[in-house]
Structure 1
């Protein structure tokens, strides 16, 4: 006949005294009160683990923090789990780990891990812009929330004030970055799916704005304004270099002397400098080479062709040309990036192959075969086109002081 255990009373539990050795008082169905020599009392549930049938003790906490009634309630919950072949200890550990993960894996903490990967694939300036936008618009509001609790309504509510201000381009970028963070969380096993994949549908699409630029017939006027502009000499070089090479402002200012192949007349730009993270070669015209010749006394002993004013060991800021063009009276009419559009429009009007023009602008071709063809054959065709473009710039500079002029200027 099975032994019947008499349930404990509150008085027995309260008055249980310490002994030389620890001992247990049983309440039945595996629940025990362990009294230690130091007087502490601990509730335990002794049970057989499902499948293995190995007996173990599951601690419920100390008395009087956990009362007799509390301990019995915890025993009942554990026995309900056991009836379903669920190990109470594993179940508790799973919940504990889940709670710990929720605390550790906040949106901010996951974003930091994502950013370590992201910033290796973009330029330092762009990486800084990404993180600054999240610090400004996202983290103060939902950064401390567990990544598993971020939902579409929460994200929309966070971004909505930006949309109400009309900053739709910022909304677009924030939504993209939040989606990248959530996809990172999915791919690293933190969440099962990305709940923000469709949030962009909740906002109006930003209207695409072209970079301010001038018309092809306005280039002579611009060259005249540049020739008399009160700007630093290195800034003049940067603007003319951008004009002749058709390269983005952020890529142009980072040009290094080591990247120039004078024998092949090429500027070989490494992938890490380029916006699309693909290496790019620019055929150098006689005017572009003349620019290098005339600036060499200024920076030939430096790493960068266009050194920064305050720290010559670094390169000039990519906004340098923009600021100068603005001061020249072109605010709202032309930006440094718009020089590329000016070149593209002019070359298209002259009937040059659009694919060759796109290759010169370093626009990514989605067709892998054609992209390979671009690298091999287009370089020669681009060189001829670039020669025409530089000659055109020089003609537009007639009567003006041009740093790249092959006839007007040979040395600084």
Structure 2
């Protein structure tokens, strides 16, 4: 058996020669002075050589360790040479299939509006990619996931943490389905987030509605953000439906807003009667943004709509973020309108909630418009009244 002194003192000769260690391991000394470790083995009677590195970069102890790993493969009938090639291919595939790459692929596959995809990608870029974006998706562990969730919670963003958890799990689901990951590491830590106790999607009492509207009026933010927020309340539209509103969708003379199917959650056109307050609001916006596609264009790129994240930012600034979210507007409207005695069918038609019966759905769309117009005018008047009482 060799010692380290043997390896150091092996001098080059005119011809290549070998210094044996044991069980097929030897040091090959070349005329150039390069000393290379080799392992000679046989599989199915065929002899092969496996390179283990050069001395002294790979010392005697490490060479023996590498050789022992190779022997274990040989005992299983696996060629160390072929195994190395497969591992190289696997590393190359892993480097191409980073978490970020798979996440972007997942987003591209979703049947979402572009603005929704952009919002989800923005969350990933801010919260998830800095930690695991460059890692092969197969190498992301539950510890990585838990660290992301805990750091997001400590920043005081439980809703963002919950969204990050759901999104990461969906990305891993795609990775597993396409054989790029073995399991979803989110599953092990799925209950790590505390229950959301803020109840920010609850129906607001009347006094809180008035206080919210007054606070938002005086928050000193962007004029567009304020009016998009008001339009959402006056029509009980979804936040994204409000901020993405296009001028071509409105007929202000008829006081109607027709939201196309491509922007609706149920993928059906939706006709919204506009109370006089909403028409006045839109007429006030016309001189400001009437030359653009969107009623509420993005501040930095006028060719895109504003993001409903502006609502959340304003609410956080006002101290409302833990008590109310923009999606709670529709819950509030539905609850209060039911209390006022309006028919369930009319309220559901206004909220564009899915009606499973196609004949009944068509009937609702054609018949309830005038009843909804009366209801929404009453709703807008009540909002003014509640605001004044605050």
TM exceeding 0.5: yes
In 1, Cα distance between equivalents of 2:120 and 2:138: 28
**1:17 match:** 13
Query: Structure 1, residues 287-346: CA drift from partner, whole Å, max 9, x if none?
Result: 456765665454433211234678765545646678999999999998765543443234
Query: Structure 1, residues 109-161: CA drift from partner, whole Å, max 9, x if none?
Result: 414531453376434334423432336xxx55x77876556554664466456
Offset at residue 16 of structure 1 (A): 3.9
Query: Structure 1, residues 63-113: CA drift from partner, whole Å, max 9, x if none?
Result: 4445677656655654453333221222344455666777x489xx41453
SS of the aligned residue for 2:356 comes to: helix
Q: How many residues align?
A: 375
SS of the aligned residue for 2:190 comes to: helix
**Higher alpha-carbon Rg:** 1
2:54 matches 1:62? yes
**2:206 match:** 215
Offset at residue 216 of structure 1 (A): 9.4
Q: What aligned pairs does 1:93-242 form with structure 2 within 5 A after superposition?
A: 93-95=85-87, 104=95, 109-118=98-107, 121=112, 122-134=116-128, 139=130, 148=138, 150-152=140-142, 155-156=145-146, 159-160=149-150, 168-207=158-197, 208-210=199-201, 213-215=204-206, 238-242=228-232
**1:81 match:** 73
- More deviation in 71-80 or 250-259? 71-80
In 1, Cα distance between equivalents of 2:170 and 2:356: 29
Are the structure 2 counterparts of residues 234 and 382 from structure 1 closer, same or farther at C-alpha, using a change threshold of 3 Å? farther
In 1, Cα distance between equivalents of 2:237 and 2:146: 37
RMSD: 5.3
In 1, Cα distance between equivalents of 2:117 and 2:26: 63
In 2, Cα distance between equivalents of 1:323 and 1:133: 17
In 2, Cα distance between equivalents of 1:320 and 1:71: 60
Offset at residue 353 of structure 1 (A): 4.3
| TM-score when normalising by structure 1 | 0.65
Contact 2:145 2:185 (8 Å CA) reproduced: no
Offset at residue 206 of structure 1 (A): 1.4
Are the structure 2 counterparts of residues 25 and 286 from structure 1 closer, same or farther at C-alpha, using a change threshold of 3 Å? closer
**1:358 match:** 348
**2:270 match:** 281
Offset at residue 191 of structure 1 (A): 2.7
Q: What aligned pairs does 1:282-361 form with structure 2 within 5 A after superposition?
A: 282-285=271-274, 287=276, 295-307=285-297, 315-316=305-306, 318=308, 339-354=329-344, 356-361=346-351
Unaligned runs of 5+ in 2: 386-390
In 2, Cα distance between equivalents of 1:310 and 1:99: 41
Query: Structure 1, residues 333-384: CA drift from partner, whole Å, max 9, x if none?
Result: 9876554344323432344443553343245x4xxx7075675333224423
Are the structure 2 counterparts of residues 55 and 174 from structure 1 closer, same or farther at C-alpha, using a change threshold of 3 Å? same
In 2, Cα distance between equivalents of 1:57 and 1:227: 79
Unaligned runs of 5+ in 1: 1-5, 400-412
- More deviation in 142-151 or 167-176? 142-151
Are the structure 2 counterparts of residues 371 and 87 from structure 1 closer, same or farther at C-alpha, using a change threshold of 3 Å? farther
SS of the aligned residue for 1:370 comes to: coil
In 1, Cα distance between equivalents of 2:100 and 2:145: 14
2:252 matches 1:256? no
2:362 matches 1:376? yes
Contact 2:237 2:330 (8 Å CA) reproduced: yes
- More deviation in 295-304 or 66-75? 66-75
In 2, Cα distance between equivalents of 1:383 and 1:393: 15
SS of the aligned residue for 2:187 comes to: coil
In 2, Cα distance between equivalents of 1:127 and 1:231: 25
In 1, Cα distance between equivalents of 2:245 and 2:144: 44
Are the structure 2 counterparts of residues 226 and 146 from structure 1 closer, same or farther at C-alpha, using a change threshold of 3 Å? closer
Contact 1:256 1:305 (8 Å CA) reproduced: yes
In 1, Cα distance between equivalents of 2:309 and 2:156: 25
Aligned match of 1:388 in 368, 374, 390? 374
In 2, Cα distance between equivalents of 1:176 and 1:225: 32
In 2, Cα distance between equivalents of 1:323 and 1:83: 63
| TM-score when normalising by structure 2 | 0.68
Query: Structure 1, residues 239-272: CA drift from partner, whole Å, max 9, x if none?
Result: 553344321233212211233478995512353x
